[in-house]
Amino acid sequence: MRRSQAILRMPVNSVLATLILHDGERCDVLLFIAAGEDITRLISPGDPFVPMIKHAKFCLVARPAIAALGIVAGAEAPDDGGLPITRQRVRVRLRSGTALEGEARWHASEVYKRTSDYVNDASAYIVVHANQPQPTYYVAKSQVATVEEI
């Protein structure tokens, strides 16, 4: 069969992740991350459905149903020229009742002094760094019930 246009495929990275849905269901998935993008694109506002491999089958998951995505992070990212990083142990309880424990980290500044400053910023997600080799969770703020400092 001849086509009038060539089928173009964007290069993507396949990333293993833990998906936590709005109802607390947890499963391993394979995410597709386009070159030059990162996992935060999947937890931020965008297209209504996110493609992934779930239970060895292709699946489209509604973006509002995603409560958190956890990936095992590699080496820690550079600290942006030596800016000090504030670290706070937190327990994030999702609306489903699922609890995630780890560290919230943000660059210390006059704007971001407290945990409340970090969780109330304009982004659609917060990041919880669990103890290595546990995953780093990207948590949708719309699915968070409480953030407790521990």
Of the candidates 65, 38, 28, the one whose C-alpha atom is nearest the C-alpha of residue 50 is 65
The 99-107 sheet, strands edge to edge: 57-62, 49-54, 26-34, 12-21, 66-71, 136-140, 125-129, 99-107, 85-94, 144-149
Q: What's the whole-model pTM score?
A: 0.85
Q: Which domains does the chain have, with CATH numbers?
A: 12-71 (2.30.30), 85-149 (2.30.30)
Per-residue confidence of the chain (150 residues) as pLDDT tens digits? Answer: 455 555 556 677 889 999 999 999 999 999 998 888 889 999 999 999 999 999 999 999 999 999 999 998 654 554 456 678 899 999 999 999 999 999 999 987 777 789 999 999 999 999 999 876 789 999 999 999 999 999
